Amino acid sequence: MLPARQFGTLRLADVLTSSLSSIEGLSNILDLGQTNKAVVLLADGLGVSSLRARPGHARFLNSLLTKSSVVDGVFPSTTAAGITTLTTGVAPGQHGLVGYRVRDADRDRVVNQLTGWDDDMRPETWQRARTVFERAADAGIPGFAIGPRRYTTSGFTQAALRGAHYVPAESVSDRFAAARHLLDTEPRALVYVYVPELDVAAHAHGWESERWLAALENLDGAAARFAAALKADEGLLVTADHGIIDVPMTRHVLFDTVPELIGGVRHIGGDPRCLHLYLEPELGSDSGAALADTWRGIEGHRAWVFSRAEAVESGLFGGVAPEVLPRIGDVIVAARKLIAYYDSREPNQSARSMVGQHGSLTDEELRVPLIRSGTFSA
């Protein structure tokens, strides 16, 4: 049972690549006119559905949100996959970050793609694609990434933002100020601004919480002030890596309590709304299909379930490079109802306090804004 999901023509992968093409004076899929300086702001977790649901708290962003200012993110709808697709212009099956936690087959382990980088998982080789910033440097265009100081030297930054000069700035207003300084001092520039505050608030309190609304209002006000000061050769795009849905603890599914669902499973990766199940290596080649059938029989009424072969054939990860294939689960379970899957055998159950969730194929998780301002105005 493959998900009946048709991805749109415009994708998150097109945003930063089109911005670079605009600076180079080249045609691009987003039809961005020629400019000298482009700013792409990624608001982590800002889905279209959440933004539209709170027009009074984001008057500026909603004023520019039209039917044409919506694009599809990536599957799985998780930060590691989404940001890397933005910054490389290719699908997860090519850049290699195919989930939140994925298998490192050579070392028989599951690794966190945001925080699990070590000497055995080198960001410069594990992330396989050249970044848009590296391509910009080839064209003589400086690239910059602006975000919180704590991410300056992280493994994920080295993987996804290679070629960009990282500019640390703690608050949202500080990041906009840093972007404004770059626009004022560089004759040409490709600038990426990262805003994690919405995602942090959603995970802890939910996207319908006061904390999330306060973060949205802060972003909206800062974006409005920045956009108002853009000059004739400066463009701004606001987008996101994924959306968020709130899942109450009463909707947690402890899948390990059904023995049939974990038979032959060696490792569990992914997100609570998008599981990657990795089987014992000695099992036969048809074991993934068999486990997928078992999951469909038990959970098919509230989840899309497919084997690795089915997921690859359907194009969910884009074209998949051979070395990336083992990182994808033998079985993928993507929630389509308001649920989240957890393993009660895990010694640390703190993740179950998370309210805001993402990772699956629903519109709420996949559809993200592409808001244009300055010379990029529609």
Can you give the CATH number for the domain in which 234 is found? Answer: 3.40.720.10
Q: How confident is the model at residue 4 (pLDDT cuts 50, 70, 90)?
A: low
Residue 235 has pLDDT above 70, yes or no: yes
Whether residues 39 and 179 share a domain: the answer is yes
Q: Does a structural domain hold residue 146?
A: yes
Q: Does a structural domain hold residue 104?
A: no
pLDDT of amino acid 262:
98
pLDDT of amino acid 67:
85
100-151 confidence digits (pLDDT tens)? 999 999 999 999 999 999 999 999 999 999 999 999 999 999 999 999 999 9
Whether residues 160 and 278 share a domain: the answer is no
Whether residues 221 and 201 share a domain: the answer is yes
Mean pLDDT within 360-366? 97
Q: Does a structural domain hold residue 369?
A: yes
Q: Does a structural domain hold residue 5?
A: no
209 membership: H or E segment, kind and range: none
The number of distinct structural domains making up the chain is 2
Identify which of 20, 6, 376 has the alpha carbon closest to the alpha carbon of residue 192: 20
pLDDT of amino acid 271:
96
Q: Does a structural domain hold residue 3?
A: no
pLDDT of amino acid 68:
85
CB contact set of 239 (below 8 Å; sequence gap of 6+): 12, 15, 40, 41, 42, 43, 71, 86, 368, 369, 370, 371
Whether residues 34 and 84 share a domain: the answer is yes
pLDDT of amino acid 165:
98
Whether residues 77 and 147 share a domain: the answer is yes
Mean pLDDT within 8-16? 93
Whether residues 194 and 269 share a domain: the answer is no
pLDDT of amino acid 181:
98
Residue 3 has pLDDT above 60, yes or no: no
Mean pLDDT within 272-283? 96
Whether residues 183 and 217 share a domain: the answer is yes
165-186 confidence digits (pLDDT tens)? 999 999 999 999 999 999 999 9
Distance of alpha carbon 266 from alpha carbon 262, whole angstroms: 9
Average pLDDT value for the chain = 96
Q: Does a structural domain hold residue 108?
A: no
Whether residues 216 and 314 share a domain: the answer is no
306 membership: H or E segment, kind and range: strand 303-307
State the DSSP code for 121: B
Report the sign of the C-alpha dihedral through residues 81, 84, 88, 93, in that order. Answer: negative
13-26 confidence digits (pLDDT tens)? 999 999 999 999 99
CB contact set of 147 (below 8 Å; sequence gap of 6+): 166, 167, 168, 169, 175, 193, 194, 196
- Asked if 236 contacts 372 with a C-beta cutoff of 8 angstroms, the reply is yes
Q: Does a structural domain hold residue 105?
A: no
pLDDT of amino acid 7:
83
Distance of alpha carbon 77 from alpha carbon 72, whole angstroms: 10
Whether residues 294 and 317 share a domain: the answer is yes
Whether residues 266 and 129 share a domain: the answer is no
Whether residues 184 and 327 share a domain: the answer is no
Q: Does a structural domain hold residue 2?
A: no
Whether residues 228 and 260 share a domain: the answer is no
What CATH number is associated with residue 259?
Answer: 3.30.1360.180
- Return the bridge partners of 252, or none: 340
Q: How confident is the model at residue 222 (pLDDT cuts 50, 70, 90)?
A: very high
Structural domain boundaries enclosing 274: 249-357
Residue 28 has pLDDT above 80, yes or no: yes
320-343 confidence digits (pLDDT tens)? 999 999 999 999 999 999 999 999
**Cβ count near 117 (within 10 Å):** 20
